[in-house]
């Protein structure tokens, strides 16, 4: 697993539009198109950097450097789930979110959202309120019991606890970058008659 795979386990805000799907009718889709994109397996080099295949070609793109994928036309923002929740809470997007964390900001609400972003960018106090220090959350060891079996041998002892979770935190610079990107996204959507979606 590469770092890009980890970063994609998150929420992406993007410019979206409605289109007709032959099977599902009207659907909401990000604005963009399918075509060649930089390979995530080799970051576009075409080379096998991890020694997993028999030759020096990337296992994903077979040395091409690109794969078939989706390329957004407008700005997009990919953030962790906790950062997305903070953005939605601070900027009043929770009313537009569904129970699964996705949402849609309709075209008529873009002007108000733009004003909220401008206020955030011009208020150091608001930015500081959104910051969060990084931290590590370690799970406690589990209860006594059967830890595992290997062949005819049963191990008794403390079962392992859950995972160790690293929270990256949120700096003021990150918040400013998020707000600027969202502002670019809103202006692109307003100019082109689109709206903002996230999932």
Give the structural domain span for 170: 79-142+163-199
Q: Are 147 and 121 in contact (CB under 8 A)?
A: no
Q: Which two tokens stand for residue 144?
A: 């006594």
Summarize pLDDT for 11-56 with one digit per residue, the tens: 899 999 888 888 888 888 888 888 898 888 888 888 877 666 667 8
In angstroms, the Cα distances linking 71 to 68, 101, 149, 167 are: 10, 22, 48, 29
Summarize pLDDT for 165-186 with one digit per residue, the tens: 788 889 999 999 999 999 999 9
Q: Which two tokens stand for residue 96?
A: 């537009």
Q: Are 69 and 34 in contact (CB under 8 A)?
A: yes
The pLDDT, as a whole number, for residue 153 is 64
Domain count of the fold of the chain: 1
Task: Give a yes or no: residue 169 inside a domain.
Answer: yes
Rounded distance, CA 119 to CA 164, Å? 37
Rounded distance, CA 193 to CA 124, Å? 31
Task: Give a yes or no: residue 175 inside a domain.
Answer: yes
Task: Give a yes or no: residue 33 inside a domain.
Answer: no
Q: What's the first-to-final CA gap in the chain, in angstroms?
A: 22
Task: Give a yes or no: residue 135 inside a domain.
Answer: yes
Task: Give a yes or no: residue 93 inside a domain.
Answer: yes
Task: Give a yes or no: residue 130 inside a domain.
Answer: yes
Summarize pLDDT for 104-155 with one digit per residue, the tens: 898 899 999 999 999 999 999 999 999 999 888 876 666 555 556 666 666 6
Strand partners, 146: 156
The pTM is what?
Answer: 0.71
Task: Give a yes or no: residue 176 inside a domain.
Answer: yes
Task: Give a yes or no: residue 196 inside a domain.
Answer: yes
The pLDDT, as a whole number, for residue 186 is 96
């Amino acid at each position: 697993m590469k770092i890009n795979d980890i970063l994609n386990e998150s929420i992406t805000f993007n410019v979206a539009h409605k289109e007709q799907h032959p099977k599902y009718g009207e659907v909401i889709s990000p604005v963009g198109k399918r075509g060649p994109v930089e390979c995530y397996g080799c970051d576009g080099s075409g080379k096998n950097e991890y020694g997993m295949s028999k030759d020096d070609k990337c296992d994903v793109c077979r040395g091409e450097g690109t794969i078939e994928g989706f390329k957004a036309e407008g700005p997009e923002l990919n953030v962790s789930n906790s950062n997305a929740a903070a953005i939605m809470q601070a900027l009043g997007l929770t009313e537009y979110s569904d129970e699964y964390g996705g949402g849609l900001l309709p075209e008529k609400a873009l002007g108000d959202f733009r004003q909220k972003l401008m206020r955030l960018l011009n208020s150091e106090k608001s930015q500081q309120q959104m910051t969060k220090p990084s931290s590590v959350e370690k799970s406690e060891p589990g209860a006594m019991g059967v830890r595992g079996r290997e062949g005819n041998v049963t191990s008794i002892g403390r079962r392992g606890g859950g995972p160790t979770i690293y929270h990256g935190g949120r700096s003021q610079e990150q918040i400013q970058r998020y707000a600027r990107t969202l502002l670019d996204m809103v202006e692109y959507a307003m100019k082109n008659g689109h709206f903002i979606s996230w999932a």
